[in-house]
């Protein structure tokens, strides 16, 4: 069953209201989706982890059915710092002062920022198919630009991508329902057909090219690092390792305790390889949460 045993809530965290599902018993674990998904991307993984953890799955601000705040010239309302503050407030509202956090794709940027900005709250970090945004941008070459050209397209504001995407969302987001429950598929399609959500998702990328990069650079100059144990997972049938080599090596510039491995999957590993993802997260967290 779809998120069997989970509660669906809308929780006011200050600047925004987040749609969130939560359930299970044990140490708290926050799961953060990527683009263009919603929390429903975890519908196979969350019930497996809920046997051992208290699992919390929100829609990030701008995504799904969470709030879409007005933006500004710096796109700061969609910065990972703002999203990380949402996550801290959400977990406190649910009664969790400390927690582990896992994020996939864009969610990995929010998970990283949560660990960096709120080290006393985060017991463990799992980054899936992602690096700190500055690492992506400093390694940008012709291959990156050819394969991830959408970063630059999404980043435009003079000729905004929203008009192109919303003209035919199904042609732009060429996902299939193969690895998704009907409820997750419907949730995904509802999101991509909502122009306000498309705008919110693109604001995430616009923040990534500017203010998020500056926050990473400031942390690096100040010598700030992730204080908690860190697990890096990447899809073996996606392009992260092809573009950058060993992601664990890159993450070791940001955290002292890092381990990682590939998952036999395409990019959306929580949908395509849920047992492997849940097993890797659970095995990593067991020594690091209480």
Catalytic residue status for 267: yes
Catalytic residue status for 105: yes
The span from the first CA to the last CA of the chain, in angstroms, equals 28
Closest among 192, 206, 135 to 164, alpha carbons compared: 192
Which entry of 105, 117, 219, 238 is annotated as an active-site residue? Answer: 105
Closest among 39, 4, 29 to 282, alpha carbons compared: 29
Start-end of H helices in 98-160: 106-117, 133-138, 142-147, 150-155
E-state strands within 152-276: 230-235, 258-263
With vertex at residue 238, the alpha carbon angle to CA 235 and CA 239, rounded to the nearest 5 degrees, is 120
Residue 34 and residue 18: Cα distance in Å, rounded? Answer: 15
- Helix (H, G, I), strand (E, B), or coil: what is residue 253? coil
With vertex at residue 37, the alpha carbon angle to CA 36 and CA 40, rounded to the nearest 5 degrees, is 170
**Rg for the chain (alpha carbons), in Å?**
17
Residue 244 and residue 241: Cα distance in Å, rounded? Answer: 5
Which entry of 9, 150, 257, 267 is annotated as an active-site residue? Answer: 267
Closest among 29, 59, 51 to 184, alpha carbons compared: 59
Residue 281 and residue 125: Cα distance in Å, rounded? Answer: 10
Q: Which residues are catalytic?
A: 105, 267
């Amino acid at each position: 069953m779809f998120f069997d045993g989970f509660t669906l809530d809308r929780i006011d965290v200050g600047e925004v209201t987040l749609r969130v599902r939560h359930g299970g018993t044990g140490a708290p674990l926050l799961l953060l989706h990527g683009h263009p998904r919603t929390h429903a991307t975890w519908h196979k993984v969350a019930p497996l982890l809920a046997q051992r953890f208290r699992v919390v799955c929100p829609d990030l601000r701008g995504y799904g059915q969470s709030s879409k705040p007005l933006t500004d010239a710096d796109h700061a309302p969609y910065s990972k710092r703002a999203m990380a503050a949402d996550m801290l407030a959400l977990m406190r509202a649910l009664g969790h002062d400390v927690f582990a956090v896992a994020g996939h794709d864009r969610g990995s940027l929010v998970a990283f920022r949560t660990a960096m900005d709120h080290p006393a709250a985060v017991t463990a970090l799992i980054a899936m198919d992602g690096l700190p945004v500055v690492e992506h941008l400093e390694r940008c070459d012709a291959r990156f630009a050819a394969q991830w050209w959408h970063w630059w397209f999404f980043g435009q504001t003079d000729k905004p991508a929203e008009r192109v995407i919303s003209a035919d969302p199904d042609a732009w987001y060429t996902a299939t329902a193969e690895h998704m429950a009907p409820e997750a598929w419907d949730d995904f399609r509802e999101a991509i057909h909502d122009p306000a959500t498309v705008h919110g998702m693109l604001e995430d990328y616009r923040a990534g090219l500017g203010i998020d990069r500056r926050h990473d650079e400031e942390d690096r100059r100040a010598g700030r690092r992730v204080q908690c144990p860190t697990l890096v997972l990447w899809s073996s049938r996606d392009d992260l390792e092809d573009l950058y080599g060993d992601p664990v090596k890159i993450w070791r510039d940001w955290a002292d305790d890092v381990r990682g491995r590939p998952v036999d999957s395409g990019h959306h590993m929580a949908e395509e390889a849920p047992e492997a993802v849940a097993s890797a997260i659970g095995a990593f967290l067991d020594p690091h949460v209480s």
